A and B are shown apart, each in its own frame.
Chain A
Amino acid sequence: MVELGKYAGTVLGAYGVALGLILGLVWLTLWQGKRMRRRLEATERELGIDG
């Protein structure tokens, strides 16, 4: 295991915040994309359009 010494909280805190924000952004991007694709497919089906 990596030895971070007296700055362990600082380094882990910085990585935790950064990775949390990145994972949150990735999740939001995928969720919004999936939701929009489903809505568009449903509307195209409703209007009888082949997407």
Chain B
Amino acid sequence: MSIWEYANPKKFMQTSAWVLPWVTGLAFVTLVLGLTWGFFFTGDDYRQGSTVKIIFIHVPAALMAINAWLMMLVCSLIWLIRRHHVSALAAKAAAPVGVTMTLIALFTGAIWGQPMWGTWWAWDPRLTSFLILFLFYLGYIALWEAIEDPDTAADLTSVLCLVGSVFALLSRYAVNFWNQGLHQGASLSLAPGERMAMTFKLPLYVAMTGFVLLFVALVLIRTRTEIRARRLRALEARGRMG
């Protein structure tokens, strides 16, 4: 069986209908577990006090903000190379989820930054690249809405996605290139240095799993909606032609 079978909208609809309840259920359980564990059953950090609890939403949201764009990049490349409509629609479906995750990362970062850094915002490399990523998401969504022909819209948004990928990667690695910023390095890293305690790390992993599964569930639902919208347009066109 080939992965390209799922490029067939009918096959995608059948498989996603079967997978969706499981992914949604798992997303709900892991999100509730991770956030409850992190909020109620972890202590305060010796430097950051109770604000450390914000990590359980800030880091998973930032993770998904970047990875949603990278998923859109893969789908855009598949569209540009193989012209599979489901991949273009999946990229379109992921954008509103990605922009929400970026907004959550920016908001929670500002709320967290105020008591820790003494400012809501700084033109720090990571913060700035995240803001630019947010603007790319808005541009990507606006471009889909602005162009009437779906194939042309898919072509142009795919090119925009390729360009925006630079900022998605910068958002992830900016702290490694420029170290003059306020933002700390990666929260979870294999590199030697300061380590996060297991009491924070375990619920953070669960919350991150919950955010990944929530993203998958939402993208599946939204892709199914986009496939139905495409079929509706085709039927309406057929109806108009008599």
* A residues with CB within 8 A of B: 2-8, 10-11, 13-15, 17-18, 21-22, 24-26, 28-30, 32-33, 36-37, 39-40, 43-44, 46-47, 49
Interface centre among A14, A17, A33 (most CB of B within 10 A): A14
Q: Do A33 and B53 form a contact, CB below 8 Å, given A25-B100, A43-B235?
A: no
Interface residues of B (CB under 8 A from A): 35, 39-40, 44, 49-51, 53-54, 57-58, 61, 96-97, 100, 103-104, 107-108, 111-112, 114-115, 214, 218, 221-222, 224-225, 228-229, 231-232, 235-236, 238-239
Chain B residues in 8 Å Cβ range of A18? 57, 61, 104, 107-108
A20 to B114, CA, bound (A): 20
The listed residue (B39, B100, B111, B221) touching A13 by CB distance below 8 A is B111
Whether the Cβ atoms of B111 and A14 lie closer than 8 Å is yes
A49 and B232 CA atoms in complex are apart in Å by 12
A46 contact from B61, B224, B239, Cβ within 8 A: B239
Does more than half of chain A's interface fall in helix, strand or loop, or is it mixed? helix
In the complex the two chains form, is B107's CB within 8 Å of A14's CB? yes
Q: Is the CB of A21 within 8 A of B103?
A: yes
- Closest Cβ of chain A to B16, distance in Å, is 12
Q: How many A-B residue pairs have CB under 8 A?
A: 93
Known: A21-B104, A29-B222. A14 touches B57 (CB 8 A): yes
- Chain B: which residue is nearest A42 at the CB level? B232
Q: Residues of A contacting B107 with CB < 8 Å?
A: 14, 17-18, 21
Q: Contacts of A4 on B, CB cut-off 8 Å?
A: 50, 53
Determine which of A2, A3, A5, A33 lies in contact with B224 in the assembled complex, contact meaning CB atoms within 8 Å. A33
Q: Quick one: which of A3, A29, A32, A44 contacts B235, CB cutoff 8 A?
A: A44
Contact A5 B50 (CB under 8 A): yes
**Chain A nearest CB: distance from B77 CB in Å?**
25
